[in-house]
Amino acid sequence: MPDSSPPASVPSTPSTGTAVIYREKLWPNAWIWIIAAGVSAAGILVFAPISMAAGFTAALVLFAIITVLLVLSTPVIMVTADTLTVGRATIERRFVGAVEHFEAGEATAERGTRLNGLAYLCIRGWIDPVVKIEITDPADRTPYWLASTRHPDQLTAALARR
């Protein structure tokens, strides 16, 4: 009878003593927070006919909810000596191949017309540069990971270190 136990997974946080080579949290830009404030202010318009207090309360509640959702959905890119973590995905560094970074029009093409449908994506619309990380694991059909980053040179350099 085949073994039905789940495969061993790589921990999402580095084990004790593993030095973090690179870490970046992809926080929303200022204009995302301005949009969140504007959407929250719509609560004032909706509830103002009832009372201004209800409108301001609704705006504060909406802003709190949007803030919690933005903070909880902010992905982390972390490189250690043994693993690479991008958002929810983690892979051993031995399966990381070539790494390229793209900016401006090239980054747009990588996110659009050049995108492979099997690629793992961790992209944020408010961050333009992307890094393309080749995956060499023969058991993984994913050809590469495409991740947004504000520091493409630093991430590429961190992944080049062995």
- 143 Cβ contact partners less than 8 Å away, ≥ 6 residues apart: 116, 118, 119, 134, 135
Which of 123, 47, 134 is CA-nearest to residue 84? Answer: 134
Report pLDDT for 10.
41
- The string of DSSP letters for 2-16 reads ---SPPP---SSPPT
The residue whose two tokens read 């301005």 is 34
3 or 63, greater pLDDT: 63
Residue 162 pLDDT grade (very low, low, confident, very high; cuts 50, 70, 90):
low
3-state secondary structure of 63: helix
Q: pLDDT per residue over 24-42, tens digit each?
A: 999 999 999 999 999 999 9
Q: pLDDT per residue over 101-157, tens digit each?
A: 999 999 999 999 999 999 999 999 899 999 999 999 999 999 999 999 999 999 999
Report pLDDT for 12.
46
Question: In degrees, to the nearest 5, what angle opens at C-alpha 159 toward C-alphas 155 and 162?
Answer: 145
- What is the C-alpha to C-alpha distance for residues 49 and 47, in angstroms, rounded to an integer? 6
Report pLDDT for 48.
87
Which of 97, 108, 85, 82 is CA-nearest to residue 143? Answer: 97
Which of 91, 92, 100, 109 is CA-nearest to residue 131? Answer: 100
